[in-house]
Amino acid sequence: MRRRNFLRLVPAGAVAVDIGWGGKRNAAGEKPEAVTREKVRQAMLCMQRDAWEQGVAAQALLETGERDLVILLAREAALRQDADGRLATISCWAGVTDPAANGQAVLWAAAESKDAKLRAAADKMLDYLLSKAPRTADGTLYHVSDKPQVWVDSLFMAPPFLAYAGQHGEALKQIDGMRRRLWSQEKKLFSAIWDENSQTFERRDCWGVGNGWAICGMTRVIQLLPGEMAAEKKRLCGYVRAALEGCLKYQRPDGLFHDVIDDPGSFIETNLAQMLAYAIYRGVQGRRLPPAYLCQAETMRLAAWSKVDQYGFVQGVCGSPDFSSPGTATEGQAFFLLMEAARRDCFGSGSCF
């Protein structure tokens, strides 16, 4: 029923994408769409991963329902916990908020497996954010420990874990502090990096994936806030919708975006489309966004599916390790899976995964 209602909302002449909801099976009895998702997942798990990459991979597996894999990734994140509490530190030694991307998965895995060591690891990560991490005078977390900088990435890395751990006020405080420094009211987009000492931008560019991190991070916090915080949820919904609108006006005819959203000279990038589709599906599911947004989400999803190669790599994302050119990245794999999980939940079907 919900799928039929969606199809009535698609404007005349638009393409309604229905990848993953039915279709023929191959000789082994598998749906081709499910095979593609499995390839994307396997490619993600075969990638080398740093702190935030381990975290976003674990979050993708958590939202797709991969219980055992979440516990495995959580245990590895705890194994590689720094003495001060930062999770999954492979080479991200200066990372302040990136390690917290693992927090929700580790805390969930602790409860699911009744593992006291995992619970202790999550508590140490939380204590680091609350009492040890470097921050501005007003308490906004720096993204790195060696520079007094606030990065847009942090909106995804720290606030959702804070909210999941019950630190709702702190999660909101971090969102507001980061947004105050990075949000352009004129452009309705986030800039990438603010330097607190110089009180100016280290990188003013409206980086596409950075805006995706911000929008998806706030989307997750909205879901995690308790019902009695309706006013705060409404405020965050306003933040998310404003940023969505800011991004969508730069969407290309093929459904994708440029790496720097408002710079058509920058390369064409895949991951922002996946991130925005995820946020839209979650927003419509939670009745925070009108269903009319689904048409754009479906267009973005179709564009992302067209970028999956024979090995399951989502091509054309802002590519690791330096994220300065199109390529592949753990986060690109993870957000493909997050997008699919959000769509499954939005339409109320268990046919994915």
Mind listing the domains of the chain with CATH numbers? 134-304 (1.50.10.10)
Q: Is the pLDDT of residue 333 over 70?
A: yes
Q: How far is CA 53 from each of CA 210, 278, 303, rounded to the nearest angstrom? A: 14, 18, 23
Per-residue pLDDT of 21-74, as tens digits, reads: 344 555 555 678 999 999 999 999 999 999 999 999 999 999 999 999 999 999
**pLDDT at res. 241:** 98
Residue 202 CA neighbour count, 13 Å, CB half: 13
**pLDDT at res. 175:** 98
Cα gap 58→56, rounded to integer Å: 5
190 or 19: which carries more pLDDT confidence?
190
The percentage of the chain sitting over the pLDDT mark of 70, rounded to a whole number, equals 90
Mean pLDDT of 316-333: 97
Q: Is the pLDDT of residue 328 over 70?
A: yes
Cα gap 297→274, rounded to integer Å: 8
**pLDDT at res. 16:** 41
Query: What predicted TM-score, i.e. pTM, was given to this entire model?
Result: 0.92
**Mean pLDDT estimate for the chain:** 92
Return the beta strands (E) in the chain as ranges.
149-151, 183-184, 189-190, 193-195, 200-203, 257-258, 268-269, 317-318, 326-327
Contact 264, 205 (CB under 8 A): no
Residue 78 CA neighbour count, 13 Å, CB half: 25
The percentage of the chain sitting over the pLDDT mark of 90, rounded to a whole number, equals 88
Compute how many other C-beta atoms are within 10 angstroms of the C-beta atom of residue 19: 18
Q: For the chain, how many residues are written? A: 353
Q: How far is CA 158 from each of CA 83, 95, 97, 140, 344, rounded to the nearest angstrom? A: 19, 11, 6, 11, 26
**Burial class of residue 47 in the structure, from the number of CB atoms within 10 Å of its CB (0-12 exposed, 13-18 middle, 19+ buried):** middle
Among positive and negative, which fits the CA dihedral 267, 268, 274, 277?
A: positive
Compute how many other C-beta atoms are within 10 angstroms of the C-beta atom of residue 231: 8
Question: Tokens at residue 148, please?
Answer: 């007094």
Per-residue pLDDT of 77-105, as tens digits, reads: 999 999 999 999 999 889 999 999 999 99
